[in-house]
Structure 1
Amino acid sequence: MKLFQCQCCGQVLHFENSVCLRCGRSLGYLPGPDRMAAVEPDGALWRIADATDPDARRWRFCRNWELSACNWMVPVAGDHDPEYCDACRHNRTVPDLSDPEHHRRWQRIEVAKRRLIYTLAHMGLPRPVAGDNHPEPLVFDFLADDPGNAQRVLTGHADGVVTISLTEADDAEREAMRNQMGEAYRTLLGHFRHEIGHYYWDLLVRDGGALESFRAMFGDERADYAAALDHHYHNGAPAGWEATHVSAYATMHPWEDWAETWAHYLHMIDTLETAASLGIHVDPTVDGDGDLSTEIDFNPYRVRRIQRLLAAWLPLTVALNAMNRSMGQPDLYPFTLPDPVQRKLAFVHDLVAARRG
């Protein structure tokens, strides 16, 4: 995620900001121009707080802005402009917001979702919505557990519908689940990236003519999924899985291997964009061979070959882990990328690059 700047006072802005801390103006993200802008009221609408600004037309905030759950804007073009922004128009179900705890958790979910949609847009991937006449529009259901039902909501994907359980927005519950499952990493954003990977498997692999090459790389997805799931939770990952998979869960089934690899690719892209925006240069004085050195000065969304991403990514993760340890925290990046995993990441990268053209 890149950094932004207030066009009125020069204050550095972050993607999640809704008010400029220096000049106090309201802020909105403009998806088309890809910028954060200071805005001022214009009757019932809003305008850019600079009459000479190239985007100085009228805008409205996404309807979820009124619920403190979105800071994206919609350009005003006529009487039938959409109420929801490019990110929120994918929402199909939200929880009962009269419950303050539900509202709070949903707001956290929306933060992660907007970052996901930003990444997908910059990757140039299709994001069809209901009404587009697409056979599999992208839909989000954010669901709370029913206290009267022993069956809990499960985060997952099916036929274009990504379901996120509200419990994942509770830090304590999510951390307890991470420990119970023996996972090295579990975040709201990670859930979005994993589940959206299943969606793009449908679009890019199944419907994109890449099934045979996928099977050669990840295995045959026609293997019984329910049986694979049962085997994984009863027996765990096979010994030595670290040499071939990015996570233990990736060993469960080819679909999960793909989704875990896809999520990891999005981790890389977003973090490298942030590093480039910050001008990060890693050059340890003890690194005589240069293996831990990198200068991240490129746009990761426009890199043709995965090798350039990996050459920057691996030294960056070493630096991030060292910084976390200095604060007494566990490694920020608890993964390794052996050659088979790097080849899988290259498969994802090449599919995305081909779709983007």
Structure 2
Amino acid sequence: MKTFHCNHCSHLVFFENVRCEPCESLLGYVPDLAEISAFEDAGDGRWRSLHPGADGALFRQCHNYAVENVCNWMIAADSPDTLCRACQLTLTIPNLGAPDNRLYWYRLEIAKRRLLYTLAELGIEVKSRQADPEHGLAFDFLEDGGDGARVMTGHDNGLITLNIAEADDAHREKVRTAMGEPYRTLLGHFRHETGHYYFDQFVQNDPRWLEPYRKLFGDERADYGEALDAYYRDGAPPDWQASYISAYATMHPWEDWAETWAHYLLIVDVLDTSTSYGLALLPDDPSEPTLTDRTPVEDASFENLMKRWFPLTYALNSLNRSLGMADGYPFTLAAPVVDKLRFVHRVIAHAGDKAAQ
């Protein structure tokens, strides 16, 4: 993600900010500009953007910004909508009468908006259920029932369900440890589940991609229920790291795709951030990893992304260890995994070009 600055005082601000601390200007995200803008009060619930790209246009706060305090996106003042593009995608919110659920909702919406930012940067179209009732993307944020009924995070024909317990850091860490996972985040869940959605959109019914997909990931027609039972009964093969990005990716070709898709989004998002901040690696010893390339990720070839990714993760893990923390990037990219990532890159690049036409 790129860096943002307050248009009133030029102070550095972040994607989630709602107010500039030094000058106290209202801040909000304008999707059409892909920018955080500072605003001045124009009266009657309207706000005038101070961003030079907005040319003084008037906006309103999303209802979930103005009333619920879980959003920071803006809507054009003349729009009939009350919810922003991001909040329109959420069909079901948590029960706000329960303790902590508003906090969990807030965390879920932050992760969702970061996902949407990355998809937009890659040129991937996101259609809501309002725009496309049959194939649009939507989210339900649900919690386990008092009768012991469990909510499973998953995807079903464009509807992504997330168990809000995943927004509880202690719960998520407990599950991560129990399942032997090196990495488990809310943003990772969103990336993974949208992988299933975009498999249906981009690959499933396109012979140009389906056969190459099957050669790399396997035949998705294999019985999913049987594969799921086998995975939780027997676990992943002992040599899974030679061909898969995660143990869970071994379960079924659909999960291998979703895990690889999620990992590709992780890579481009981190590289986009490091590039925007001007991060460079200039070691005294030329044999150590070097990084000076600042090609925008949306313009970079796959080989360029990989060339920059390895030195960046070397530095990231070294910094984390100096902080006394676990590696920020606890993965190994074997050659077959790189081939799968390259395939995801090709599919996304084609989808972005098609959407731009």
User: Which of the five TM-score ranges fits, normalised by the shorter chain?
Assistant: over 0.9
With over 3 angstroms needed to count, the CA separation of the structure-2 counterparts of 1:170 and 1:33, relative to structure 1, is same
Contact 1:280 1:296 in 2 (8 A): no
1:31 maps to which residue? 31
For residue 347 of structure 2, the aligned residue among 338, 351, 354 is 351
2:298 maps to which residue? 301
| Amino acid in the other structure paired with 2:299 | R
Structure 2 CA distance for aligned equivalents of residues 206 and 6 of structure 1:
43
Please state how far the C-alpha of 1:240 moved relative to its aligned partner: 1.0
Structure 1 CA distance for aligned equivalents of residues 49 and 260 of structure 2:
42
Contact 1:294 1:312 in 2 (8 A): yes
Can you list the C-alpha shifts for 1:80-109, whole angstroms capped at 9, x where unaligned? x21111111111111111224111111111
Can you list the C-alpha shifts for 1:138-173, whole angstroms capped at 9, x where unaligned? 0100001111x2121111111101111010000000
Structure 1 CA distance for aligned equivalents of residues 42 and 267 of structure 2:
40
1:41 counterpart SS class: strand
Structure 1 CA distance for aligned equivalents of residues 205 and 17 of structure 2:
38
Contact 1:8 1:49 in 2 (8 A): no
Please state how far the C-alpha of 1:58 moved relative to its aligned partner: 1.1
Aligned pairs for 1:172-321 within 5 A: 172-209=170-207, 210-288=209-287, 292-303=289-300, 305-321=301-317
Please state how far the C-alpha of 1:287 moved relative to its aligned partner: 4.3
2:117 maps to which residue? 118
| Amino acid in the other structure paired with 1:192 | F
With over 3 angstroms needed to count, the CA separation of the structure-2 counterparts of 1:283 and 1:52, relative to structure 1, is closer
Structure 2 CA distance for aligned equivalents of residues 51 and 10 of structure 1:
11
1:12 maps to which residue? 12
| Amino acid in the other structure paired with 2:298 | Y
1:336 counterpart SS class: coil
Contact 1:268 1:313 in 2 (8 A): yes
Contact 1:272 1:296 in 2 (8 A): no
Of stretches 45-54 and 258-267 in structure 1, the one that deviates more from structure 2 is 45-54
Contact 1:48 1:55 in 2 (8 A): no
Please state how far the C-alpha of 1:132 moved relative to its aligned partner: 2.1
Structure 2 CA distance for aligned equivalents of residues 51 and 228 of structure 1:
52
Can you list the C-alpha shifts for 1:279-304, whole angstroms capped at 9, x where unaligned? 1111333342x5x211241211222x
Contact 1:156 1:195 in 2 (8 A): yes
With over 3 angstroms needed to count, the CA separation of the structure-2 counterparts of 1:244 and 1:46, relative to structure 1, is same
2:149 maps to which residue? 151
Unmatched tracts of structure 2, length 5 or more: none
With over 3 angstroms needed to count, the CA separation of the structure-2 counterparts of 1:51 and 1:165, relative to structure 1, is closer
Structure 2 CA distance for aligned equivalents of residues 51 and 105 of structure 1:
31
With over 3 angstroms needed to count, the CA separation of the structure-2 counterparts of 1:211 and 1:52, relative to structure 1, is closer
Matched, 1:330 2:329: no
2:347 counterpart SS class: helix
**TM-score where L is the length of structure 1:** 0.95
Matched, 1:84 2:83: yes
Structure 2 CA distance for aligned equivalents of residues 259 and 83 of structure 1:
32
For residue 166 of structure 1, the aligned residue among 152, 164, 168 is 164
| Amino acid in the other structure paired with 1:14 | F
Aligned pairs for 1:37-52 within 5 A: 37-48=37-48, 50=50
Structure 1 CA distance for aligned equivalents of residues 202 and 48 of structure 2:
38
2:72 maps to which residue? 71
Contact 1:45 1:58 in 2 (8 A): no
Contact 1:142 1:163 in 2 (8 A): yes
With over 3 angstroms needed to count, the CA separation of the structure-2 counterparts of 1:150 and 1:14, relative to structure 1, is same
1:206 counterpart SS class: coil
Contact 2:37 2:50 in 1 (8 A): no
| Amino acid in the other structure paired with 1:64 | N
Contact 1:228 1:253 in 2 (8 A): yes
2:85 counterpart SS class: coil
Q: Indicate the RMSD between aligned Cα atoms, in angstroms.
A: 1.5
Structure 2 CA distance for aligned equivalents of residues 51 and 351 of structure 1:
34
1:39 counterpart SS class: strand
Structure 1 CA distance for aligned equivalents of residues 324 and 315 of structure 2:
15
Contact 1:128 1:134 in 2 (8 A): no
Of stretches 154-163 and 99-108 in structure 1, the one that deviates more from structure 2 is 99-108
With over 3 angstroms needed to count, the CA separation of the structure-2 counterparts of 1:51 and 1:322, relative to structure 1, is closer
| Amino acid in the other structure paired with 1:44 | D
Please state how far the C-alpha of 1:51 moved relative to its aligned partner: 9.5
